[in-house]
Structure 1
Amino acid sequence: MRIVKTFASGIALVAVLGLAACSGGSGSAGSGNIFGGGSGNQKQSTGGLRHQPKPEEKRETIWDLFTNVDDPNTTVEVNRYIWNASLDVLSFMPVQAADPFSGIIVFGYGRPSGGGTAHKATVYVRDPALDARSLSVALYTRSGPASAEAVRKVEDAILTRARQLRIRDGKL
């Protein structure tokens, strides 16, 4: 029984020392003091015991990983012309999934008019610039990946259509 009490006391001591090591000693905002202590001129967070760092503050302790400092209103920007051009050029394929926040469009199998082979595609628009590096296309047939030439033709068609959409909007 005495061994169990000693073991429990040892674990409690390790936990206290671990928390004390995270405190940084000053108790100031951003110092890692998870109990929100500090000098009287600092504002306490009303949302809980832990200091909620501002997005521009750097994380200093492991405990700061568990706070949500990311702005929920920030989204990944994608080029709207490339997005719309992808939907236009690959309109013969059914859209299975689309996420405009991450820039991914997943198309199901479809046959182009006048074409005999069914294709499916995944389009990834990863940058707000109207540029070839902003677009990535994965094209598949029922027998496997499509040729590099076919992928390049689809990418060129999407970029050409995106430029046309951009020029049309510039004339408004």
Structure 2
Amino acid sequence: MTGPMILRKLLLVGLLASLAACGNSSPFGSSDADAYERNQRRAKQQLEANGVLQPKRESIFDLFQNRDDPNTTIEVNKYLWTAAQDVLSFLPIESVDPFSGVIVMGYGTPPGSNRAYRATVYVRDPALDARSLNVAIRTRSGPASRETVRAVEDAILTRARQLRIADSKL
């Protein structure tokens, strides 16, 4: 097992743990628990469909077998990746996975505001367009408004275009 594979799996566990921490489940309401379970199943299905989750290992000796497809490459757009870090620079980075395009950021307060935000950015395609970028933003009291998420996505896309234009002038 190579170092990048181990790193990728550790980051996946961290991502899943952070996704679990973002849930709105409450031990007092069964409807909240049901919604939490549905969200967990949906997230697991998406990870399996994207090929992020590996098949379950049966024994300790399965750890030493290389089951990964060597022809699989995952690419992310470098301008979106850098722009997301630039725009959300007021948030501390908790974990990054450049192989799958996930940046998990902790709580931070933007300049001129008193509300703390937390963000997860997913750059899933090498193309520089809005479909390649997913941003999830939370406050301490719950999900941020759609307008806030949209404004952050627009700022990241604008900064990515600026970086690409500056890069082409070299």
1:123 equivalent in alignment to 2:121: yes
Alignment correspondent of 2:70? 71
Task: Spell out, residue by residue over 1:131-155, the C-alpha distance to the aligned partner (whole angstroms, 9 max, x if none).
Answer: 0000000000000000000000000
Deviation at 1:115, TM superposition (A): 1.1
- Secondary structure in structure 2 of the residue aligned to 1:93: coil
1:134 equivalent in alignment to 2:158: no
Paired letter, 1:154: V
Q: Which has the higher contact order (CA 8 A, sep 6+)?
A: 2
1:148 equivalent in alignment to 2:146: yes
Report the Cα distance in structure 2 between the residues aligned to 1:155 and 1:113, rounded to whole angstroms: 18
Alignment correspondent of 1:157? 155
RMSD: 1.5
- Secondary structure in structure 2 of the residue aligned to 1:166: helix
Deviation at 1:165, TM superposition (A): 0.2
Report the Cα distance in structure 2 between the residues aligned to 1:114 and 1:67, rounded to whole angstroms: 51
How many residues are aligned here? 106
Query: 1:12-161 counterparts in 2 under 5 A?
Result: 68=67, 70-71=69-70, 74-161=72-159
Q: Identical aligned pairs, as a percentage?
A: 68
Paired letter, 1:68: R
Deviation at 1:69, TM superposition (A): 6.2
Report the Cα distance in structure 2 between the residues aligned to 1:69 and 1:94, rounded to whole angstroms: 32
Q: Structure 1 residues 154, 69: CA separation in 2 closer, same or farther (over 3 Å shift)?
A: closer
Which contiguous aligned blocks of 4+ residues in structure 1 show a shift greater than 2 angstroms? 66-69
Which has more helix, going by share of residues? 2
TM-score, normalization: structure 2? 0.60
Report the Cα distance in structure 2 between the residues aligned to 1:145 and 1:103, rounded to whole angstroms: 22
Report the Cα distance in structure 2 between the residues aligned to 1:69 and 1:106, rounded to whole angstroms: 25
Deviation at 1:68, TM superposition (A): 3.1
Q: Structure 1 residues 108, 67: CA separation in 2 closer, same or farther (over 3 Å shift)?
A: closer
1:167 equivalent in alignment to 2:162: no
Paired letter, 1:78: V
Deviation at 1:67, TM superposition (A): 7.1
Paired letter, 1:71: P
Report the Cα distance in structure 2 between the residues aligned to 1:143 and 1:79, rounded to whole angstroms: 32
Which stretches in structure 1 are left out of the alignment for 5+ residues?
A: 1-65
